[in-house]
Structure 1
Amino acid sequence: MKEFISMMGEFVYNFVICGINVFQVSVIILTMYYLIISLFGFYKKEDKEAENCKPEKKFALLVAAHNEEMVIGKIVDSLKELDYPKDLYDIFVIADNCTDKTAEIARKHGGNVYERNVSDKRGKGYALEWMFARVFKMDTKYDAIAIFDADNLVSKNFLNEMNYKLLKGYKVVQGYIDSKNPDDSWITQSYSISFWTANRLFQLGRSNLGLSSQIGGTGFCMDTETLKKLGWGSTCLTEDLEFTCKLVLNGHKVGWAHNAIVYDEKPLTLKQSWNQRKRWMQGFADVFSRFFVRLMKRAVKERSFITLDCALYTMQPYFTLFMAASAVISLIKSFSGIDVITLDGIFRDIFYSSQSSYSQYAWMIFSIGQFLFTPIVMLLETKLSKKMFGVFALYSLNAVVFSEIFRYLRDNGKYKEFLITHHLAIENVNKGYIIPSIEYTVLITIIYIMMFVIIIGMIDRRYSLKIFIWYMLFSIYTLTWIPITVQGILNKDKKEWSHTKHIRQISIQEVE
Structure 2
Amino acid sequence: MNIQVIITIIDFLLWLIIAANVMYVLFFALASHLPKKTHLPSAILRPFGSKRAEPERRHQTSDIRHQTSFLVLIPAYHEDAVIINTVKSFLQQDYPKDLYQLCVISDHMDATTNEQLAALPITLLQPTFENSSKAKALQYAISQTSNVSHHPYDYVVILDADNVVATDFLSRLSQIVRPDIAIQCHRTAKNADNDIAALDGLSEEINNSIFRRGHNRIGLSSALIGSGMCFNYEWFKNNVNKLDSTVEDRELEALLMKQGIFIHYSEDIQVLDEKVSNGDNFQRQRLRWMTGQVQALSQMLPYAPKAIFTGNINYIDKTIQQALIPRSILLILTPLFAFISFIIAFFIPHLSFIFYLWLLLLILLIIAIFLSIPASLQTSAFFSRIWALPQLVWRMLMNILHIRTDNNEFIHTTHQQ
For normalisation by structure 2, the TM-score amounts to 0.83
Q: 1:370 deviation in Å?
A: 4.0
Of Structure 1 and Structure 2, which has the larger fraction of its residues in helix? 1
Residue pairs, 1:75-474, within 5 angstroms: 75-119=86-130, 121-137=131-147, 138-167=149-178, 170-182=180-192, 184-294=193-303, 296-316=304-324, 327-337=335-345, 339=351, 345-346=356-357, 370=366, 374=370, 377-379=373-375, 382-383=376-377, 389=379, 392=380, 464=381, 467-474=382-389
Q: Does 1:57 align with 2:68?
A: yes
Shift, 1:156, TM fit: 2.5
1:34 aligned to 5, 25, 29, which one?
A: 25
Aligned to 1:439: none
- Judging changes above 3 Å, is the alpha-carbon distance between structure 1 residues 110 and 88 closer, same or farther for their aligned structure 2 residues? same
Percent sequence identity over aligned pairs: 21
Task: Tell me how far 1:279 sits from its aligned partner.
Answer: 1.3
Residues 1:477 and 2:389 aligned together: no
Q: Deviations over 1:131-182 (max 9, x none)?
A: 1122222222101111111111112332234323323x54321111111112
Aligned to 1:248, the other structure's residue is in SS state helix
Change (3 A) 1:325 1:70: closer
Task: Kindly indicate whether the alpha-carbon contact (under 8 Å) linking 2:246 and 2:408 is maintained by their aligned counterparts in 1.
Answer: yes
Note the residue ranges of structure 2 that are not aligned, 5 or more in a row. 41-60
Distance of 2:162 and 2:215 partners within structure 1: 27
Distance (whole Å) between structure 1 residues aligned to residue 221 and residue 278 of structure 2: 32
- Measured on the aligned residues, the alpha-carbon RMSD in Å equals 3.2
Please, which runs of 5 or more residues in structure 1 have no aligned partner? Answer: 1-8, 351-362, 393-463, 505-512
Asked if 2 retains the 8 angstrom alpha-carbon contact of 1:145 and 1:224, the reply is yes
Is residue 29–residue 369 contact of structure 2 (8 Å, CA) maintained in 1?
Answer: no
- Which secondary structure state, in structure 2, belongs to the residue aligned with residue 307 of structure 1? helix
- Contact 2:212 / 2:265 at 8 angstroms: preserved in 1? yes
The count of corresponding residues between Structure 1 and Structure 2 is 390
**Distance change >3 Å, CA 67–CA 18, structure 1 → 2:** closer
Q: Look up the SS of the partner of 1:499 in the other structure.
A: coil
Structure 1: how far apart are the matches of 2:212 and 2:223?
7
**Whole-Å Cα distance in 1 between the matches of residues 121 and 341 of structure 2?**
63
Q: Structure with the greater relative contact order (CA < 8 A, sep ≥ 6): 1 or 2? A: 2
The verdict on how the C-alpha distance between 1:71 and 1:47 changes in structure 2, with shifts beyond 3 A counting, is: farther
Contact 1:95 / 1:102 at 8 angstroms: preserved in 2? no
* Alignment-mate amino acid for residue 137 of structure 2: A
Deviations 1:220-252 (A, max 9, x none): 011012123334422322111121112112222
Letter in 1 for 2:12: N
State the AA in 1 paired with 2:18: V
Larger radius of gyration: 1
Distance in 2, matches of 1:162 and 1:341, equals 53
Shift in alpha-carbon separation, 1:15–1:348, aligned structure 2, 3 A: closer
Distance 1:372 1:497, change over 3 A: closer
For 2:23 and 2:211, how far apart are their aligned partners in 1? 13
Question: 2:72 is paired with a residue of what secondary structure?
Answer: strand
SS in 2 for 1:142: coil
Instruction: Name the CA distance, whole Å, in 2 between partners of 1:371 and 1:211.
Output: 22
Letter in 2 for 1:503: Q
Tell me the equivalent position of 1:499: 412
Counterpart residue number, 1:45: 36
Supply the distance in 1 between the matched residues of 2:385 and 2:93 (Cα, whole angstroms): 34
Aligned twin of 1:487 = 401
The 8 Å contact of residues 92 and 112 in structure 1, kept in 2 or not, is answered as yes
The two structures have a TM-score, normalised by structure 1, of 0.68
Residue from 59, 69, 83 that aligns with 2:80: 69
Measure, in 1, the Cα distance between the counterparts of 2:260 and 2:302: 16
